[in-house]
Amino acid sequence: MSTVSFKDRMEKAAKNKNSNIIVALDFPFQDLLKRELLLAKARNTLKMAAPYVCAVKINHHLTLPLGIFDSVKQLVQQAHASGLQAIMDCKVNDIGATNQVIAEYYFAAGFDALIANPFVGWEEGLKPIFETAHRLDRGVILLTYMSHKGAAEGYGQTVLDEKTETKQYLAFAKKALQWNADGAVVGATVPEKIREIYAVLGEEVPIYSPGVGAQGGTAEAAVKAGARYLIIGREITQAQKPEDAAAKLKAATQPLRR
């Protein structure tokens, strides 16, 4: 694996592709007898979108039916061959010993970074993931504020942080800096939260924003608020011609790139 950090590899991929779009290969439930068709669709969508995006995000939509060290590893290899970074959206959220094993397996499958949930804390929580990731020149992206409506019930709570009341997502943003995270996920559906979190992170920790399109978020609002990368799934994966959808999105977001 390259000794170049994940953050630098992402910047390089975005520059080479002239795009800040990450395609999320999220597909609806498929009959398990049709797993080969699901893999073929994922491979084709990735192939069609690759010229217009800088990375691919994979989550349980594919790892559960296809398996990590068979089909999903092929997708990661395909992404790398296309000049893309590969992010595993596993939202790791367990005790440290389990988290470390999870990270080791995903990194062994070739993933460049994974997404983790800061709710579990540092000691005997996320610390082993960060140590493993940085030893292998991989990345850890912290889930700071999700894109769905119910996110406010957890990430939007007011907490007592060092004897001062603060919003949970701002406390997580501070931890992203403290823990040297490689990115922070903040939904494009809440540009006001992106703006607040960017005020904490600045350019130190890039913001990744899902929720553009199908969930109601807009690329313009997200980028203007401080998002560096846009994670887009259904607008591409459910299009009749994924390449046309990806090309259109790239053209629309190009003037917005920071």
C-alpha triplet 23, 57, 157: angle, nearest 5°: 105
- Distance in angstroms (rounded) separating the CA atoms of residues 94 and 100: 9
The answer to whether the CB of 115 falls within 8 A of the CB of 143 is: yes
The domain in which residue 203 lies consists of 6-256
Long-range contact pairs involving 59-67 (C-beta distance under 8 Å, separation at least 24): 59/24, 59/26, 59/88, 59/89, 59/90, 60/89, 60/90, 61/25, 61/26, 61/27, 62/25, 62/27, 62/38, 63/88, 63/90, 65/30, 65/32, 65/35, 65/38, 66/35, 66/38, 66/39, 66/42
In-domain check, residue 66:
yes
Cα(9)–Cα(100) distance, integer angstroms: 23
Interior angle at CA 257, CA 150 and CA 244, nearest 5: 80
Confidence (pLDDT) at 34: 82
Task: Evaluate whether residue 1 is within a structural domain.
Answer: no
Q: How many domains does the chain have?
A: 1
Q: Would you say residue 89 lies in a domain?
A: yes
Half-sphere exposure at residue 205, Cβ-oriented, CA atoms within 13 angstroms: 28
- What does pTM read for this prediction? 0.94
How many C-beta neighbours within 10 Å does residue 234 have? 16
Residue 27 belongs to some domain of the structure:
yes
Strands annotated E in the chain: 21-24, 55-58, 85-92, 113-116, 139-145, 158-161, 164-167, 183-186, 207-210, 229-232
Name the catalytic one among 12, 41, 73, 91: 91
Domain of 168: which CATH number? 3.20.20.70
Nearest to residue 152, comparing CAs of 171, 141, 167? 167
Structure confidence at residue 193 (pLDDT): 95
Would you write out the chain's pLDDT as a tens digit for each of its 258 residues?
A: 458 899 999 999 999 999 999 999 999 888 777 889 999 999 999 999 999 999 999 999 999 999 999 899 999 999 999 999 999 999 999 999 999 999 999 999 999 999 999 999 999 999 999 999 999 999 999 999 888 888 887 787 888 877 788 888 999 999 999 999 999 999 999 999 999 999 999 999 999 999 887 777 889 999 999 999 999 999 999 999 999 999 999 998 877 776
- Is 91 part of the annotated catalytic residue set? yes
